[in-house]
């Protein structure tokens, strides 16, 4: 009987041991599963965080971020309360959040300078623009930086144009109120050109009534301005004066420039140019002027403009367009395409499909390397410019921005003045 009791006792002990072993096994399995799952979850989180970077070592974020993945990671961190996701991953996630928020803040700051699509806000100043320009440099993704910078460049150009316009309109209005007859044909043309360049609603509203008054006065009282009449009189006197008699011009701008245009006139004549008007650039003097042919000679009627920078090769070009670009305007830059150099307003994908152009989208600011299409939205400095070409190359005369090959930079006031005088189709000669 004792043996039977011992046997029964051992059987119960073994049973308890087996149950205990089973429990330990289950607990071990659960712990193993949890640790394995934790490792898998963290591996996924690490991968999703890394996938947001274009270059992880340099901390360059991708242009287009996967916000769904980011939201998922954030929710997992919140739900796990720090037990599943490692501290290292949590830190990496918060760093990523900070980078993204900084990008959003910069974009928001740029957008805040706009007052609608075509004007800047009243509180914009040169300091505001310069300080934000420095802040944008913190964006390490070049595509995102270029988009932000393009929008800021647009504001800067609008601001400078508006400041120039405000000064010119003030000067002309003051002269007009003192003496109505001071409003010449050139001045009223410049008034309307500058008024169109105003990109601030408050400034535009301030000048609307005064510009209308000057327009109405000129239309009703000045069939031809006294200054234009005087210019024609002086030119006629010059044409009829004896060759042996020294001619003494009156105090008229157009005649005052005759002595300085002899070399330009000879250069244009020798190049075979015969048109009535030609835009002429003298590279040795770094000056630009609209030349008008009078009695066989080319005269710079409104004097010369100083060129800030020019990388335009010598030769003969044609002014293709006075550019006032919209957000979807573009030029075909594929030299192998029969439509090379064509300006397309409000361009769409179907427009380029009909030209046998595929993949037209790009964010390239340099029109020389943008292919197969250059988009004006990528370079705000060219939104108001003079587009020229010789059939194999294309270029621009513009104000501000960066210096480019086939580009010529002049001041915004000189650009406005020039655009009010010339038209598409005339010759542009670089000597």
179 in any annotated domain: yes
Name, in order, each residue with C-beta under 8 angstroms of 244's C-beta and a sequence gap of 6 or more. Answer: none
* Same domain for 356 and 301: yes
117 in any annotated domain: no
pLDDT in tens, 199-255: 999 999 999 999 999 988 887 775 444 445 544 544 555 455 444 444 333 333 333
* Same domain for 334 and 192: no
pLDDT in tens, 2-49: 555 555 555 655 555 555 545 544 444 444 444 445 567 777 777 777
Domain boundary residue, one of 221, 239, 267: 221
Q: Identify which has the larger pLDDT, 54 or 394.
A: 394
* Same domain for 105 and 147: no
* Same domain for 372 and 263: yes
Q: Render 228-266 in DSSP notation, one character per residue.
A: HHHHHHHHHHHHHS-TTSPP---S-HHHHTSGGGHHHHH
% of the chain residues with pLDDT over 70: 79
pLDDT in tens, 11-22: 655 555 555 545
pLDDT in tens, 375-427: 999 998 899 999 999 988 999 999 977 889 999 999 888 888 888 888 888 99
* Same domain for 106 and 151: no
**Which of 50-59, 303-312, 384-393 shows the highest mean pLDDT?**
384-393
Dist CA 228 CA 236 (whole Å): 12
pLDDT of residue 29: 44
Domain hosting 171: range is 142-221
pLDDT of residue 35: 46
Can you give the CATH number for the domain in which 280 is found? Answer: 2.40.440.10
226 in any annotated domain: no
91 in any annotated domain: yes
Domain boundary residue, one of 111, 133, 168: 111
Dist CA 190 CA 169 (whole Å): 9
Please, are residues 308 and 410 in contact by the beta-carbon 8 Å criterion? yes
Q: Two tokens at 319?
A: 């002014």
* Same domain for 335 and 265: yes
Q: Two tokens at 326?
A: 């919209």
409 in any annotated domain: yes
323 in any annotated domain: yes
* Same domain for 164 and 105: no
Rounded to two decimals, the pTM is 0.54
125 in any annotated domain: no
**C-alpha of 297 from chain center:** 40
* Same domain for 387 and 262: yes
CA trace torsion 259, 264, 270, 276 (10° rounding) = -90
134 in any annotated domain: no
- Which of 121-125, 233-237, 273-277, 282-286 shows the lowest mean pLDDT across its residues? 233-237
Domain boundary residue, one of 221, 241, 264: 221
- What mean pLDDT do residues 141-163 have? 86
Please, are residues 288 and 401 in contact by the beta-carbon 8 Å criterion? no
* Ranges assigned E (strand) in 159-199: none
Before 69, cis peptide (omega within 30)? no
pLDDT of residue 111: 93
* Same domain for 153 and 91: no
Q: How many CB atoms lie within 10 A of CB 316?
A: 14
* Same domain for 319 and 216: no
Domain count, the chain: 3
* Same domain for 20 and 168: no
* Same domain for 165 and 97: no
pLDDT of residue 405: 93
pLDDT of residue 30: 43
In the 8-state DSSP scheme, what is residue 98?
A: H
């Amino acid at each position: 009987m004792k043996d039977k009791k011992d046997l029964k006792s051992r059987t119960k002990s073994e049973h308890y041991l087996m149950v205990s072993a089973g429990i330990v096994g289950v607990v071990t399995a659960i712990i193993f599963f949890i640790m394995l799952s934790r490792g898998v979850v963290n591996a996924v989180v690490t991968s999703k965080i890394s996938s947001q970077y274009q270059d992880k070592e340099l901390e360059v974020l991708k242009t287009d971020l996967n916000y769904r993945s980011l939201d998922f990671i954030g929710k997992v961190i919140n739900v796990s309360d720090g037990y599943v996701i490692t501290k290292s991953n949590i830190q990496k996630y918060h760093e990523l959040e900070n980078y993204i928020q900084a990008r959003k803040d910069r974009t928001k700051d740029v957008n805040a300078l706009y007052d609608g699509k075509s004007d800047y806000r009243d509180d914009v100043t040169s300091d505001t623009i310069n300080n934000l320009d420095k802040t944008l440099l913190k964006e390490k993704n070049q595509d995102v930086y270029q988009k932000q910078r393009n929008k800021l460049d647009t504001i800067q150009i609008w601001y400078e144009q508006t400041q120039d316009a405000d000064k010119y309109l003030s000067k002309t209005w003051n002269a007009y109120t003192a003496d109505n007859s001071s409003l010449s044909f050139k001045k009223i043309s410049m008034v309307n050109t500058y008024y169109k360049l105003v990109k601030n609603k408050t400034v535009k509203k301030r000048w609307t009534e005064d510009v209308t008054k000057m327009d109405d006065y000129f239309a009703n009282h000045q069939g031809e301005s006294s200054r234009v009449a005087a210019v024609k009189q002086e030119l006629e006197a010059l044409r009829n004066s004896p060759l042996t008699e020294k001619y003494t011009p009156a105090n008229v701008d157009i005649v005052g420039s005759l002595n300085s245009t002899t070399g330009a006139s000879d250069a244009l004549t020798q190049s075979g140019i015969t048109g009535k008007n030609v835009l002429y650039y003298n590279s040795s003097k770094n000056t630009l002027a609209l030349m008008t042919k009078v009695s066989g000679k080319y005269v710079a009627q409104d004097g010369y403009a100083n060129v800030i920078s020019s990388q335009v090769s010598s030769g003969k070009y044609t002014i293709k367009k006075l550019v006032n670009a919209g957000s979807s305007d573009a030029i075909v830059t594929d030299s192998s395409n029969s439509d090379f150099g064509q300006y397309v307003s409000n361009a769409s994908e179907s427009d380029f499909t009909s030209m046998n152009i595929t993949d037209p989208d790009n964010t390239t600011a340099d029109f020389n390397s943008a292919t197969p299409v250059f988009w004006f939205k990528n370079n705000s400095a060219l939104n108001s410019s003079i587009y020229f070409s010789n059939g194999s190359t294309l270029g621009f005369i513009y104000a501000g921005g960066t210096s480019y090959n086939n580009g010529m930079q002049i001041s915004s006031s000189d650009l406005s003045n020039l655009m009010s005088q010339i038209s598409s189709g005339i010759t542009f000669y670089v000597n």
